[in-house]
Amino acid sequence: MDTLRFITCGSVDDGKSTLIGRLLYETKLIFEDQLEALMADSKKFGTQGERMDFALLVDGLQAEREQGITIDVAYRFFATEKRRFIVADTPGHEQSTRNMATGASTADAAVLLIDARKGVLTQTKRHSRITAMFGVRHIVLAVNKMDLVDWSQARFDEIAADYRRFAADLNFASISAIPISALEGQNILDSATAAMPWYRGQSLLQWLETVPNAESDVTQPFVMPVQWVNRPNLDFRGFAGRIGSGKIRPGDSVRISPSGVVSRAKEIAAWDGPLAEAVAGDSITLVLADEVDASRGDVIAAAERPVEVADQFEAEILWMSEQPMLPGRAYAAQIHSKSANLTITDIKHRLDINSGARLAAKTLGLNEIATVNISFDRPVPFAPFKDNQRLGAFILIVKLTNETVCAGVIHFALRRAVNVHWQVLEVTKSARAALMRQQPRCLWFTGLSGSGKSTIANLLDKRLHADGRLTYILDGDNVRHGLNRDLGFTEADRVENIRRIGEVAKLMVDAGLIVIVSFISPFRAERDLARGLFAAGEFVEIFVDTPLEECERRDVKGLYAKARRGELKNFTGIDSAYEAPEKPELHLRTLEAQPEVCVERIVEWLEN
């Protein structure tokens, strides 16, 4: 028997838990002590670390569990004489959409419940778009609570027609509709029912037993992401992972991405011993004939059909956090087994959940779906999601909290990712620094408006110039007159403001200069992103620490007063947060030291 993975979804109180309870009651629950046998025999999960891989989101979700964050997805197991089933039971609340997406990420089919009294709701549509986004091909409308509408055929037909009109552009392979009453067991096990003699179709369980299973096609080229390098002793070195597609035999030629190194399969080790052949879904350790270098996140593929490598893509994403998505902010990313940093560089359009219209957007909120351009900080092996779900799905994680905030699928690599290459320059940064007889650095001043950043930065600039150093100041107000004149003061614009300045400062440091950056730069994430652009020791974070009350007292422009009156929106310290540095290289408390003393402290630090 094969195993079908499906998800129950729909709006809250449409009857998902009742339906699953009825299915378990009618088919007899496989108890917990049989779980290991089911998982191993189904060849869906493999062994060791892969046993927890219920979803493409596993790495991020496992990290969340270790942090004590609850992911409310319950997996239930049951079987009939024809098939075994793993069902993801997820909440219907809008706040729990992230959990529904987790269940959908590896489902072969979806049972979408609709309350016959309420019809197609916004959450119905949201769940439908998410299942389509994650590649679910077959969907059944379980129009529930038919007993509460007097078993009305007209009402059932109306709901089915409404849904088919809505889902016309979602590209499901099949949409079926079944009238049921989960509470009374009507049309769950058998389709013959006195209550609805007008219905002549399948029961829900009959549909589940016959719906096509979206198994990986073994005729596709061999692909296996490396999950870990297995080297128990000096005589054995293998690459462990779960085969995403195709099959492999000893002697087959393979290519490792992104390195491009070619070798051949020497041995296929599995939990039960060596294999003559392994196919899609198997978890194996692959031993190669040559001593090659590969690590977690690399992909081993058939040599004649290697996996593509790129760092910029068009993707579709589901934003799963109450904190808004901000283009330009760096997030930790997980794509198959590869870890990297990722930035959403552009929102091409946001999707209207109800109509499917493409809307302009500068940021995304909770449960919004959008098509975006993304950029990884390194080349990653990939495949478009429609061709290989294992290689085409990714998640984004906030580094500080370990919260999974986004799930996405890759459409295609951007042409510029292939056409634009880094030009190697013969005159290096070290050569320019030697010519100038100085150590290039980025001195990054951060603090509230009115804290004294610009005053101290100007004095420092004069002091370094007098000492014969080549410097330049990038001041927040000055830069907004030119390079960043198109940016406002929303959170999204502030992120882009700092991203641009970080890139400019990096170029100046590459030119051998000591660049002094004086920006409020209120968010730690963007300051950390800027730091990551520089070599170790080049970025010096200087926290100009002045209490808010003192900043307001010094405010000759009257900006704080305007912000207090509501005339200036998104003003840092009033209605926009300032995240103070946690471990700056220099912490200057301006109530305890005059600007000249602060400058001496900076110079002394640099000299030491």
470 close to 514: Cβ distance less than 8 angstroms: yes
Supply the pLDDT for residue 31: 45
Return the closest-CA partner of residue 332 out of 372, 377, 302: 377
Q: Are strands 441-446 and 514-518 parallel, antiparallel or unpaired?
A: parallel
CATH architecture, domain 310-419:
Beta Barrel (2.40)
CA distance 439 to 601: 18
CA distance 564 to 429: 46
pLDDT grade for 556, boundaries at 50, 70 and 90: confident
What pTM was computed for the model?
0.71
The pLDDT of residue 583 is above 70: yes
* Top-confidence residue, 512 or 191: 512
* Top-confidence residue, 490 or 11: 11
Model pLDDT for residues 308-360, shown as the tens digit of each residue: 999 999 999 999 888 888 888 889 999 988 999 999 988 999 999 888 889 98
Secondary structure, 3-state, 352-364: CCCCCCEECCCCE
Residue 359 has, within 13 A of its CA and on its CB side, a CA count of 14
CA distance 465 to 444: 18
The pLDDT of residue 491 is above 50: yes
CA distance 36 to 402: 29
The pLDDT of residue 404 is above 50: yes
The pLDDT of residue 45 is above 50: no
User: Which fold does the domain 429-607 belong to in CATH?
Assistant: Rossmann fold (3.40.50)
Q: Where in the chain are the domains?
A: 3-210, 223-302, 310-419, 429-607
Give me the helices (H) in 277-414, please: 389-392
Which of 3.40.50.300, 2.40.30.10, 3.40.50.720, 3.40.50.11030 is the CATH number of 3-210?
3.40.50.300
Model pLDDT for residues 182-212, shown as the tens digit of each residue: 988 899 988 867 889 999 999 999 999 999 8
CA distance 471 to 466: 11
321, two tokens: 């956090």
CA distance 558 to 53: 57
514 close to 463: Cβ distance less than 8 angstroms: no
Cα torsion 217, 220, 221, 224 to 10°: value is -20
When the pLDDT of each residue in the chain is averaged and rounded to a whole number, the result is 85
The mean-pLDDT minimum among 76-90, 101-115, 122-136, 534-548 falls in 76-90
Angle separating helix axes 429-436 and 491-510, nearest 10 degrees: 70
Secondary structure, 3-state, 576-595: ECCCCCCCCCEEEECCCCCH
Question: For the chain, how many residues are written?
Answer: 608
Model pLDDT for residues 521-536, shown as the tens digit of each residue: 988 888 888 998 899 8
Give per-residue burial for 318-334: e unless 16+ CB within 10 Å, then b: bbbbeebbbbbbbbbbb
Residues with catalytic roles: 521
Residue 580's φ and ψ, nearest 5 degrees, are -65, 145
pLDDT grade for 72, boundaries at 50, 70 and 90: low
Give me the helices (H) in 403-547, please: 415-419, 429-436, 453-466, 476-479, 491-510, 524-531
Residue 430's φ and ψ, nearest 5 degrees, are -65, -35
What separation in angstroms does the CA of 358 have from each of 220, 346, 349? 34, 15, 6
CA distance 320 to 354: 18
* Top-confidence residue, 219 or 123: 123
The pLDDT of residue 420 is above 60: no
**What average pLDDT does this structure show over 422-440?**
80
Supply the pLDDT for residue 257: 92
Supply the pLDDT for residue 293: 86
The pLDDT of residue 362 is above 90: no
Supply the pLDDT for residue 138: 95
Supply the pLDDT for residue 423: 60
529, two tokens: 């992103």
Supply the pLDDT for residue 50: 32
5, two tokens: 């993975």
Residue 305's φ and ψ, nearest 5 degrees, are -135, 65
Return the closest-CA partner of residue 499 out of 539, 543, 530, 521: 530
Supply the pLDDT for residue 424: 61
Percent pLDDT > 70 in the chain is: 89
Return the closest-CA partner of residue 381 out of 426, 344, 350, 413: 413
Supply the pLDDT for residue 457: 94
> Is the backbone peptide bond immediately before 547 cis, with ω within 30 degrees of 0?
no
E strand or H helix at 311: strand 308-319
The pLDDT of residue 66 is above 80: no
Supply the pLDDT for residue 46: 36
**What average pLDDT does this structure show over 90-117?**
84
The mean-pLDDT minimum among 87-101, 273-287, 403-417, 485-499 falls in 87-101
DSSP code, position 212: P
8 close to 59: Cβ distance less than 8 angstroms: no
The pLDDT of residue 417 is above 70: no
**What average pLDDT does this structure show over 50-77?**
44
101 Ramachandran zone, left/alpha/beta (phi>0; psi -120 to 50): alpha
CA distance 46 to 25: 28
**What average pLDDT does this structure show over 9-36?**
73
Collapsing DSSP to helix, strand or coil, 304 comes out as coil
CB within 8 A of 60, min separation 6: which ones?
A: 334, 395, 397, 404
Supply the pLDDT for residue 70: 42
Return the closest-CA partner of residue 389 out of 502, 495, 244: 244
5 close to 44: Cβ distance less than 8 angstroms: yes
Residue 165's φ and ψ, nearest 5 degrees, are -65, -45
CA distance 187 to 196: 9
325 close to 406: Cβ distance less than 8 angstroms: yes
User: Which fold does the domain 223-302 belong to in CATH?
Assistant: Elongation Factor Tu (Ef-tu); domain 3 (2.40.30)
CA distance 356 to 350: 9
Q: Which amino acid is at 123?
A: Q
**What average pLDDT does this structure show over 402-422?**
77
Supply the pLDDT for residue 481: 80
Is the fold of 3-210 the same as that of 429-607?
A: yes
107 close to 85: Cβ distance less than 8 angstroms: no
Supply the pLDDT for residue 98: 77
CA distance 563 to 286: 63
Collapsing DSSP to helix, strand or coil, 395 comes out as strand
